Structure 1
């Protein structure tokens, strides 16, 4: 279960994508983890150690 205390509901998920919010509501932690990973080229998963 995920729990976070926020003062205002309108700022609770600020910066979250719709897919991230839907995964959280569905309690799909695997999908939420995948969606939360940085996908840009500077992510360590995308770097190539020479």
Structure 2
């Protein structure tokens, strides 16, 4: 999912979110609900754009 943005996340199905998690984190998605998947993916996107925690 190149070019994935935070704005894309609300419309994504659970399967699409799990695939996006796998792409962002380079490991399988944990067994959590779609809302938490969205939050985790959004965090990764923001960390890449603005830098991680310092």
- TM-score, normalisation: structure 2: 0.28
Higher relative contact order (CA 8 A, sep 6+): 2
Looking at secondary structure, tell me which structure has more helix per residue. 2
